Amino acid sequence: KLGEQKHSKEPSSSQCMHLAVVACGDRLEETLIMLKSAVLFSNRRLCFHIFAEDSLKPEFEKKLKEWPSSYTKKFEYNIYPITFSVGNAQEWKKLFKPCAAQRLFLPVILKDVDSLLYVDTDVLFLRPIDDIWHILKEFNSTQLAAMAPEHEIPKIGWYSRFARHPYYGTTGVNSGVMLMNLTRIRNTQFKNSMIPSGLTWEEMLYPLYQKYKNYITWGDQDLLNIIFYFNPECLYVFPCQWNYRPDHCMYGSNCKGAEEEGVSILHGNRGVYHDDKQPTFKALYEVIRDFPFEDNLFQSLYYPLQSKFLDTVHTLCGRIPQVFLKQIEKTMKKVYENRVIVYLGANHRY
């Protein structure tokens, strides 16, 4: 069933920005906070594609219904079961984290969706999705997906030091934030290390996994790295501020884009929202989680965030608060201005 907003008079799903996420195990809250950050700041209508274990579906529906109508009218959603179209479902399920491999099958399952943004559950948007969605227009004629590098510095990069399989570029790519033109993916014959001719995306997945399964550590992300190693012309690489992880500050600041523009998308991998190793990441997660939807953004989100950050200055990530705050402050100013203009216009006061 399409989500509760189906009756809305908003544009149809073809004009949506499509966002996909895969949630299994204990990832319900994290996923909801990610969706909340998307809805808080985005301008255009959103279509959420939530892939979840059957046991989580009622919970998702219950929680999303509780959101105020001023926000629920900004999106529609669909909840799908976890399915794998080729190979052994149990094998795919166990690859790296539960269900993570589901993202490899999005082009096959979402046949009517042209483009989408896939994110891990532990992602937070600090600016409108509209801004990363625009990157689709920057693709050249051969590019069909976009990701950020896994590392900025090869000498501390995981792939450049430890990988036992082919990977993209000098440091590999991180698949936690992945922009995909599904139409192009479905229509492309991919070069591969198995047969001399090209294979479709679906034909390639299981043989590729069989060939490399004893060498991969990070599951589906490794498979994506292998695919784009053989097809580098298919990948657009966007800068690190669109997928900012603890690695970008825990050894010292090494994401130039975030230093200049601020973090656009925060990716709290390594479980940092739930332990005390990176309190800066945890502070952002908790402030967005606790923000009452219809409150004032500055009062109930930005100021609490600033005060929480004061407690993190003993960490390397906490020493660069402007990197975390710059973009979110800019975004909130825009949201606030838009609301004031819309409010005044609606009331014909001036």
Maximum C-alpha span of the chain: 69
Tell me which of 89 and 322 has the higher pLDDT.
322
> Which residues, 6 or more positions from 114, have their beta carbon under 8 angstroms from its beta carbon?
14, 181, 182, 183
| Residue-level pLDDT at 89 | 77
Of 15-24, 156-165, 285-294, the poorest mean pLDDT is in 156-165
Tokens read off for 308: 């929480």
- Residue type at 202? E
Mean pLDDT, rounded, of the chain: 89
Burial environment of residue 2 by CB neighbours within 10 A (0 to 12, 13 to 18, 19 or more): exposed
* CA distance linking residue 326 with residue 260, whole number of Å: 9
10, pLDDT greater than 50? no
What ranges do the domains of the chain cover? 17-238, 241-347
25, pLDDT greater than 60? yes
Assign residue 218 a region: left if phi > 0, alpha if psi is -120 to 50, beta otherwise? alpha
- DSSP character string of 295-334: S-HIIIIIHHHHHHHHTTTTSTGGG-HHHHHHHHHHHHHH
320, pLDDT greater than 80? yes
Task: Tell me the backbone φ, ψ of residue 81, rounded to 5 degrees.
Answer: -75, 165
Question: What fold is seen in the domain 17-238?
Answer: Spore Coat Polysaccharide Biosynthesis Protein SpsA; Chain A (3.90.550)
| Residue-level pLDDT at 8 | 38
331, pLDDT greater than 70? yes
| pLDDT tens profile 131-145 | 999 999 999 999 999
Number of other CB atoms surrounding residue 215 within 10 Å:
12
| Residue-level pLDDT at 345 | 58
| pLDDT tens profile 172-212 | 999 999 999 999 999 999 999 888 889 999 999 989 988 98
13, pLDDT greater than 80? no
28-41 and 57-66 are packed helices; what angle lies between their axes, rounded to 10 degrees?
40
**pTM value?**
0.91
